[in-house]
Every structure is written in C-alpha cells, then in structure tokens.
Structure 1
Amino acid sequence: MRMITFSILRHFKCNALAYNISRRLKSDAVDIKSDDLKTKGASPDPDYIEVLPSWPEGEISMRIKATSSMRIYPNFVTEEEESSLLSELEPQLKRLRYEYDHWDNAIEGYRETERDSWNEQNAAILKRVRETAFSPHAELLPRAHVLDLAAAGYIKPHIDAVRFCGNTIAGLCLLSSAVMRLVHEARPELQLDALLERRCLYIMRDVSRYEFTHAVLGGEQSVWRGARLPRRRRIALICRERPRPEHCE
C-alpha cells in the first residue's frame, strides 16, 4: 500500500520529478536476474505506469485496482536472449506480409503467427515467463502468440475477447519500446499510460484487461511524460491462459 500511495503522490509532482526518457531507455541498462523479479522491478511504479491528469484526484479505489492488476518487469530478457528469440522467429515472420485489415479492426500494420516449439535456450525463456506470470495450476494455451507490429503500425483501443484467452496474459516486448494507453470503458476520464520498454515483460489481468481498453500508441501519439518515444518495429511474444469453458460456448 505504501508503494501505491507513493505512486499516486508522485503523479501530482510529476513536473518536478520528471524523468529524462533517454536515460530510461538507454541500451546498457542493468539486467535484472530472474530470481530477483519476484521482489524487484515490478510496477506499480511511477517509472513505468503513470496515471494521467484526466483522472479525478479523489478516485483512489479504481486507481489502485488498475495499477495493481498490471505488472511490468524491465529487462526481463538480456540482449543475447532477445537475439536468440528473434533468430527463431524471423524466418517464420518473413514468410508473412503486413496486414492492414484486422478481422476486428483492432490493429493496423501487423503480421502474426503462433509457435509451440522452441530451441532449448528459448524454451527456457518461455518457461521463465510462465513461472513469473501465472500460478502453478494455471492452464495455458500451448502456443505463444507472436504479434509483429510495423514501425508505423499501432493497436487501437480494445478489450480482449474472453472466448480467446483466460484472465491473465504475459507479453515480452522485443525490438522496440512502446507506450500502452489504458482507458476505462465506462468512464473515459480514467486513463493511465504504461511504458513498455524493449526487452521488458508485462503482465495484465483482471481490471486492467476487462474494464479498461488498451492500445499501443503509434505515430505522433507515441509520447511518454511529454517526450516523443520513437516507435520502431516491435514484436510482442504473448503467453495466455486458456479461456474458461463457459466462454467458449
């Protein structure tokens, strides 16, 4: 609770405490070891999640629910691990073309696939993702979802369909940092931004997935704390729970 309260207070002092985004995104950031991720580096943290000014000052309950239902682990994979994942994904992705007519009009400039077999090093990375993001008894979809977003591509505001995956999703961000914006479906003044740095792991569940739309910003909208965040090609490698049986009917 003290961490969440600190995050809220820090938001109202953001002008005095604004971070230099180039420092946050420097390529030689210290890697966090897997064993430390259980206790270090996970938001709610004003470095990675920011409640926007449109959010009413007195609306604390939903603020806590929203920020506590999303976690961001910076530098979850090393540069070497990122390269290993990409070397296995690129041959498959190169056979696809970028699409601009997503079936539910949610994404512009993307190509996607799924993968269930990995070399030994990459299988260990995916195992670490699952152990960090999901409970030991969670039933996961066997294939990881691979979403390749072009440099000019973006994901429009949407809420995930419950018939395709369960409560929790976990995504590795490769090649480029991005800003995700979450907006409450019924109360659009409740907004927050999440900084998804390159090589981070983000985890979403509960309120952040089903009460808020989420979007990956592109173009001129790709801004973090008032500074432009240049978007390059970005690959998200996403693990998901199985949908509940009642949602599959």
Structure 2
Amino acid sequence: MTGRVVMVTGGSRGIGRAIAVGLAQDGAAVVGLQYRSNEDHAADAAAQILEAGAFPVRIAADFSHDPVTMAKSVATRLLDAVEVGTGTRGLDVLVNNAGILEAQELEECTLESVTRMWAANVTAPLFLIQALTPHIRAGGRVINISSGLTRIADPKYPGYSASKGALNALTLSLAPSLAARGITINAVMPGYVETDRLATRLADPIARRHVRALSLFGRLGQPEDIAHAVRYLASDGAGWTTGQVIDVSGGTALGV
C-alpha cells in the first residue's frame, strides 16, 4: 500500500473508520473519507489517519438524496485534492462502505425508506465507480461493503437486504470490464458488527445474547474484523481475486 491513494466512503466511524485507518497503517499516502454530516466524527477519523502516516481528505456528502450528482461531486472533490497534494489525479483503492440501514418489516416498508437505502447502497456506489474508474491506476482495487443479510434471513430488514443483494450483483457484473483495465472488484459481507448502527438493537440484553450466539465464535464482530479482510483485498496479494463476494461474518448462522 506504500504511497497509494485510497477513498473510503462512510469513513468517519465504525467499519469505515477502521478500514480507512487500517489502510493508512499499511502505507497509503492519501486517504479520502466521505462522511454524511457529523464533523466531529470526521475530524476524529482524520486525526487517526494522520497519526497513522497518511494525509486525510474529508468530503461531506449525503448519498441518500440525488446520489448520482453526489457521487460525481465526491469524485471531483477527491481528485482535485489528490492533484493538489500529489500532482496527479490518480486513485488506487476505492472502498464503497457508506450505506443506510433502516429496520422495517414487510408491512412497515415505505417507498421513501427503500428509496433512501437504494440511493446510498446501490446507486451511489455505481456512479462513484463510474466517475472514478478512468482515474484508477492499473493494479487498482474496488471493494464494496455488502451485508451478511443477503445470506441470512432476517425479517426486520427486507429493504436493506435487497439493496445489498443488488450491490453483490453489481460487483459480479463489473468484474469483466474492470479487469480489462487491470482493476479487481470484490465485495465483503459482514455479519453483526458492534457499531452504533446496531446500538439500539444490541442494547437489549436478550437480543445481544441471541446475536452473539449466531456466530460460530459466540461473539459480535468488531470493525477491525472487517477491516482486516478489506486490507487483504486492497493488497498486492489479492491481485488474482475478483468478482467475489466474501463472507466475513464469523460463520454467522452456519451452525443453525
């Protein structure tokens, strides 16, 4: 990763922050991090990236509204900053981690909610890849953060699961065209990870015990568990892996 330029969407907290900081620790020179609105979280993440040895580029953008325009804007702002810092408009690793999760069972689903999730979880990654692919150097990596809920049936998340299933399909579909440019694309499926996204659900002791028991290891995933998988896929050693959706859930529901 030495000297490489990285972009992580949703990079200000949770899994995204662990990925951004981890890639900085691996030697990245520039780490762009998109965040929705929380300046404090973004500043904290940027400080950790800087401490790890990389130059952070903070980009505020809300992918849940007009995701095509937002994706193109994020790409332009990132490349402008990279050009100022390095003299080139090149990128090496794109991690599409930003997403929206709203718990709604079937009868609770609304068009507004599903549209928000689809915009952030599918449309924004697609058009960010489109905008940045011409600038990704040969040997580059695109890594999409999907969800174990595409494999595990959880009736609380039909809209979210459907959007992440589409992201998996997008990963496979783009593999041939990106390979022609020397770029790999893969997706990672986390299971239940202890982040603020699930804080409300995990605050219930019974729900917490249930979720922990789903993993073969009897524990919740941590952001660093997912970051380790992404760091491998971003490395030189993963150059022969593309079009794959990799389960990083600690064997969730395999023992059921």
Task: Normalising by structure 1, report the TM-score.
Answer: 0.25
Bigger relative contact order (CA 8 A; separation at least 6): 1
Structure richer in helix, relative to its length: 2
